[in-house]
Structures are given as C-alpha cells and as structure tokens.
Structure 1
Amino acid sequence: MSVMGREQRLAEIFVELADSLIDDFDVIEFLQSLSCRCVELLEISAVGIMLGDEHGELHTIAASDENTRLLELFAIQHDQGPCVDTFRSGVQRTNIDLTDPKATSVFPHFAQQAQKNGFAVTHALPLRLRTRVVGAMNLFHTQPGTLTAENTALAQALADIATIAILQQRTLEQTYVERDQLQAALTSRIVIEQAKGILAERWNTSPDDAFNRFRAHARSQGLRMSDLGRQIIDGVPGRSALS
C-alpha cells in the first residue's frame, strides 16, 4: 500500500471507529473490528485484545482469529507472557523474538506455544488511560521482523482507542461503573464462546467458521453478539438463519 493510500485508509478507519462509539454500542463487536483493523494497518499477522477482571486476571475479549485467542488463553493459564507483563507494568514490550531464549526467558512456555502456532515475533501494548491499565493488546508476526517506531506509535494509539471504548469516556471517574462495564464485557465474551461452541457442533464446522457466521448474522440483524448468543443458548425460536 502506498504512503498516500495508507494515510487515506488510516483516516477512514479512525472515522469508522469513532462512529462506532455511540451511547449503546456493542463493545465486543467494536474490539473485534479494531483487532482486524490492526492487522490491516500494521501489516502484522494476528492480534489479541485482553482485559483484566476485578481480580486482576487477564481474559481474551477479542482477536483477529481464533488461533490467536487460543494462544492468549494458553498464556493466561500459565500466568506468563508479554501481555501479562505489560498488564502488570503498564509498559510496552515490542520486537520480542520468540526464537531467542534470552528474550523469552521469563515466559518460555508461552514462547514455545507461540512458535507451535507459527509465530516468530510478538509485541504487547498496554490498554491504559493515564496511570490506569485495564488490559493489553498482543501483536504477532509469522515472519522475523520488527515493528517500526511509526507503527508502534500507531499501535498504541489504537490500543488507546480500545481503552476509551471499554471504559466509555463519560464514566471514567466512576470506579463502580468501570468495574461493572469490564465485567459485563467479560461476561458477554463467555456467552459468545458458548454460542459459538453450540453452532460449531450444530454445523460440524470449525470454531473460527462458526464465529464468523455468527458475527455476520448479528451484524446483518443489528443485534449485539451477546444478545444473539443468549438467544442461541436459550434455544429461542426465530433464528432460522443459524439453525
């Protein structure tokens, strides 16, 4: 993509994201779209967005593909990985060579699993507002390489947009509301995962395919993914397109 073409696309995406920040928006859909836009803009292979719950434990909330989601879950289970470190410190960790034992000495299991999933380099950026860190964003490359200073700054800007979306700016100073919003997002993701599993089994297809079809149907019907997920779990009639 040419420099001019990239700048135009960047402007379009920021407008698209800003337009999504309405009073009653679907935070899961927003973060899902943002993770896919990160892949497009930053020329990386995959993205995972994670949030901390009220106990300070990380959970995957959105990813550019299901392979990344499973990798993030692995990182959390072992309480290690770049996102864990970034979430706790609030500091970026970029250009981590997953094949370098020295670079991955504090999270060897994560590095091993990442390589099995085909990734060579990873980066972690905090989801933060001032001193408040609510999660982290993990970027992956399948080929050796580095994230330029320009792309690192852009990646952090996108992570900051994600933070604002999660917290919803009008309630930043209300701690109890913030906690409820984060918990609601995490609960919604659990519902979506359950619905995705039901559909994958029903259609005898992969979780990734089931999720994409589920998401597309929610968007076409103007439904929140969590609301559609609850209807599928509860067996609500009228979802013929997903039968």
Structure 2
Amino acid sequence: LDEWQYRQGHGPCLDASVTGDTLVVSDTGTEERWPGWATRAADAGIGSVVAIGLPIQEAVVGALNLYGARPHTFDAETVELARTFAAYAAVALANAHLYASTATLAEQMRSAMESRAVIEQAKGIIMGQRRCTADEAFGILAKLSQDSHRRLRDVAAALVGRATAGSR
C-alpha cells in the first residue's frame, strides 16, 4: 500500500509525512479522502490505518504507518501511544540522517583534500619544468583539463604519476 502511494503521489502516509499530522482512516471501506488507495487497502484486507507524520528537521520527511485488519482498530488511546512512539522514532531517524550527512561531508572533505594535494603537486612539477608562477602553473593545468575534457584532479594525478613513474 505504501508503494502504491509513492507511485500515485498521494495517500494517508504521504500526506502525513508532508504535513506532520496524524491521519486516521477508521474504515477503509468508507474512506473518501483517498478513494483509490482505500479500495486497494480494503481489497488487501486492511480495515483501518493510522499514519503519523514524523517531526524530522531539514528536508527529511517520514511517517509511521499502522495497519489494522478490522475497521475502527485504533482507539484514541492507541493513537496517542503511537504518537509517543513516533516522536522517539523521529529522534532516531534524525540522528541517523545527521550521521549519514556527516559521514558524507567527511568523505567529500577527504576527497577534496586529496584532490587539492595532487593539484598542488602537479603545479609544483609544472613550476619546476617551466620556471613559472603557481598561478601560471594552475592556468596550464586548467587549460589541459579543458582541452582534454577531463577533470582537473585527473589531469593533475596523471602528471604526478608520470613524474614519479621513473623514481620507482
């Protein structure tokens, strides 16, 4: 049912995730807000649904979905308990998102530092060979990159590789 909502672009799960609201479908057999989804849910043996939007920061959205086999499965107390659980789940998801974002940033920083190092090495090689300034050496590297339609880092790495090949 969730996959169907993703394909259609609407349904209680998606609406709850976007709004952060708690949406209760007491009886899929009489639900009118999402008629196509409700028919599929009823056909799948789902009688009721609670979709709770997770309050996650940034551009991350999500929802906790509870499915009941019978209509009117979820009373007010159960919905409130599910909201409490959803708040804890949102903290866990926010932490996981923060960890993943931080790990991605660290990898990007590591890659940038490696790129910078090899570019600086290539500039040094060019400066030594051509007796030019660092800015002129960078200009030569940039032109080689453009002319060969290759990334600057790749051009620099190839130059450093050629320069160090004889020293091995």
TM class, shorter-chain normalised? Answer: 0.5 to 0.7
Cα distance in 2 between the residues matched to 1:155 and 1:94: 12
Match of 1:109 among 21, 29, 36: 36
Cα distance in 2 between the residues matched to 1:107 and 1:176: 34
Cα distance in 2 between the residues matched to 1:179 and 1:105: 43
Cα distance in 1 between the residues matched to 2:24 and 2:56: 19
Match of 2:50 among 103, 117, 123: 123
In structure 1, give the amino acid aligned to 2:36.
H
Q: Which runs of 4+ in 1 moved over 3 A?
A: 129-133, 169-172, 175-180
Cα distance in 1 between the residues matched to 2:39 and 2:25: 16
User: Deviation string for 1:113-143 (max 9, x for gaps)?
Assistant: 1111101111110111479762001111111
Q: Matched residue of 1:97: which SS?
A: coil
Cα distance in 2 between the residues matched to 1:169 and 1:83: 21
1:153 matched to 2:80? The reply is yes
Cα distance in 1 between the residues matched to 2:35 and 2:48: 14
1:83 matched to 2:83? The reply is no
Q: 1:154 to 1:90 in 2, by over 3 A?
A: same
TM-score, structure 1 as length reference: 0.37
Cα distance in 2 between the residues matched to 1:141 and 1:108: 18
1:139 matched to 2:66? The reply is yes
In structure 2, give the amino acid aligned to 1:135.
G
Q: 1:165 to 1:171 in 2, by over 3 A?
A: same
Q: 1:178 to 1:95 in 2, by over 3 A?
A: farther
In structure 1, give the amino acid aligned to 2:49.
T
Contact conserved, 2:53 with 2:63, CA < 8 A, in 1? yes
User: Deviation string for 1:183-218 (max 9, x for gaps)?
Assistant: xxxxxxxxxxxxxxxxxxxxxxxxxxxxxxxxxxxx
> Any residues of structure 2 matched to 1:85-234 within 5 Å, and which?
85-100=15-30, 104-129=31-56, 134-168=61-95, 171=98, 176-177=101-102
Q: 1:159 to 1:179 in 2, by over 3 A?
A: farther
RMSD of equivalent CA atoms:
3.0
Q: Matched residue of 1:128: which SS?
A: coil
Q: Which has the larger radius of gyration?
A: 2
Identity over aligned pairs, percent: 27
> Shift of the alpha carbon at 1:153?
1.5
1:74 matched to 2:1? The reply is no
Q: Which runs of 5+ in 1 are unaligned?
A: 1-70, 181-243
Q: When you count helix as a share of all residues, which structure comes out higher?
A: 2
Q: Matched residue of 1:125: which SS?
A: strand
Q: When you count strand as a share of all residues, which structure comes out higher?
A: 1
Cα distance in 1 between the residues matched to 2:102 and 2:84: 24
Relative contact order, higher structure (CA 8 A, sep 6+): 1
